[in-house]
């Protein structure tokens, strides 16, 4: 009978350890938990990730692939009770920061996870540095825990593949110029091809645009892997050391040409403004000379309408008298039947 008593005592001890000592758990403030029973997760009936706003960023092909069920999430608090046949899966939802060159499966890659290599559209190997902020999405814990084997590796590979594709096909946005009026349509040749720049210079000058493109392209990561990309910050793009001096010389020449073009454009704009001002001044002068003539013509029309031809004759006689008063000498041409002597 001793062995029976030993079995009973052992069962009681096992029950005490499994159900009493380890049958309670708590969830920290920056954690979320999911409970499985015999390996099966507790699902919310009739609900999936396709019902969430995150599914809007998935293509029709991927909507069927990443159709994960919604699970019951255990929020911070406790203590909670679990049975011996149940298992608790805790996940940290705090924001994590990692280098864009970090590889979770092999941290020694990419120069110990510090510099990510990429190729530009003009076949130039460059080194990219920056950081990536991400966190586990509470709305897709099934995708993070059970959808993929290593979600961190998937999200880093997904981000790196998109980044390399964007760098290989990046085109700088065209800079718009302020209109100067109808003259621009004559001076600007719209059919002329745009100047082809150096891709690494375009990338350096448009890092904000590149970061915004990455944020937009990675919006579907929440529905894919249960990881939400908070922000991507690409801070540096460096060429290989062997072409650094050549690139510096090209940039110097490019800057000099740009400065000359800007100076010539400024001088042309100044001359255009001076020409516009000169036209305005001449127009005002002409208007000043025409205005008295128009006023006299208006007075003459009024005299003709009110007093007839006799009024016009009187007006002309008065004008002649005023002219004679101001004149110091008057020359008159004698008529054939008059005295040839001048008076």
Cβ contacts of 180 within 8 Å, gap of 6 or more: 269, 272
By the 8 A CB rule, do 89 and 32 touch?
no
List pLDDT tens digits, range 291-306. 877 777 777 777 667 7
- Provide the total of helices (H) and of strands (E) in the chain, helices listed first: 10, 11
Instruction: Write down the pLDDT at residue 257.
Output: 78
pTM over 0.75: no
List pLDDT tens digits, range 160-182. 888 888 888 877 666 544 444 44
* Percent share of the chain, pLDDT over 70: 77
State how far the Cα of 76 lies from the Cα of 30, in Å rounded to an integer.
8
Distances (CA, A) of 211 to 85, 159, 207, 223, 236: 46, 12, 6, 21, 12
- Fold (topology level) of 2-172+198-243: Tetrahydropterin Synthase; Chain A (3.30.479)
Residue 190 pLDDT exceeds 50: no
Q: In the chain, where are the structural domains located?
A: 2-172+198-243
CB burial string 100-113: b at 16+ within 10 A, e below: bbbbeeeeeebeeb
The DSSP element (H or E) to which 86 belongs, if any, is strand 86-92
List pLDDT tens digits, range 53-109. 888 888 888 888 888 899 898 898 878 888 878 888 999 989 988 888 888 888 888
CA 245-250-256 angle, 5° bins? 125
Torsion-angle region of 334 (φ positive above 0: left; ψ -120 to 50: alpha; else: beta): beta
List pLDDT tens digits, range 229-268. 887 888 888 876 666 666 666 667 777 777 888 888 888 8
State how far the Cα of 52 lies from the Cα of 286, in Å rounded to an integer.
72
- What are 234's strand-pairing partners? 130
**Tokens of residue 85, six digits:** 């046949």
- 214 by Cβ neighbours in 10 Å (0-12 / 13-18 / 19+) ranks as buried
Angle of helix 207-217 relative to helix 151-168, nearest 10 degrees? 130
| Mean pLDDT score across all residues of the chain | 78
Query: Confidence class of residue 206 from pLDDT cuts 50, 70 and 90?
Result: confident
């Amino acid at each position: 009978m001793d062995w029976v008593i030993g079995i009973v005592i052992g069962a009681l001890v096992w029950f005490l350890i499994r159900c009493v000592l380890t049958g309670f758990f708590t969830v920290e403030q920056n954690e979320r938990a999911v409970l499985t029973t015999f390996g099966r997760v507790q699902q919310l009936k009739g609900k999936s990730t396709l019902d969430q706003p995150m599914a809007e960023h998935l293509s029709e092909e991927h909507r069927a692939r990443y159709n994960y069920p919604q699970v019951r999430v255990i929020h911070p608090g406790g203590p909670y009770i679990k049975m011996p046949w149940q298992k608790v899966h805790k996940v940290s939802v705090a924001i994590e920061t990692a280098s864009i060159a970090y590889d979770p499966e092999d941290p020694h890659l990419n120069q110990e996870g510090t510099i990510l290599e990429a190729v530009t559209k003009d076949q130039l190997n460059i080194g990219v540095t920056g950081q990536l902020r991400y966190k586990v999405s509470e709305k897709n814990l099934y995708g993070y825990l059970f959808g993929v084997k290593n979600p961190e590796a998937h999200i880093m590979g997904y981000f790196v593949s998109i980044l390399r594709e964007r760098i290989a096909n990046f085109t700088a946005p065209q800079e718009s110029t302020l209109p100067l009026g109808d003259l621009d349509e004559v001076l600007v040749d719209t059919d002329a091809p745009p100047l082809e720049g150096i891709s690494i210079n375009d990338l350096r000058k448009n890092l904000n645009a590149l970061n915004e493109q990455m944020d937009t392209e990675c919006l579907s990561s929440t529905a894919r892997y249960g990881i939400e990309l908070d922000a991507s910050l690409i801070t540096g793009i460096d060429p290989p050391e062997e072409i650094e001096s050549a690139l510096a010389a090209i940039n110097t020449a490019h800057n000099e040409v740009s400065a000359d073009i800007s100076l010539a454009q400024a001088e042309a704009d100044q001359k255009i403004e001076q020409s516009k001002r000169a036209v305005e001044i001449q127009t005002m002068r002409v208007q000043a000379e025409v205005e008295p003539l128009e006023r006299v013509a208006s007075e003459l029309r009024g005299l003709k309408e009110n007093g007839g031809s006799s009024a016009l004759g009187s007006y002309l006689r008065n004008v002649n008298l005023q002219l004679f008063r101001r004149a110091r000498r008057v020359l008159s041409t004698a008529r054939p039947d008059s005295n040839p002597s001048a008076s």
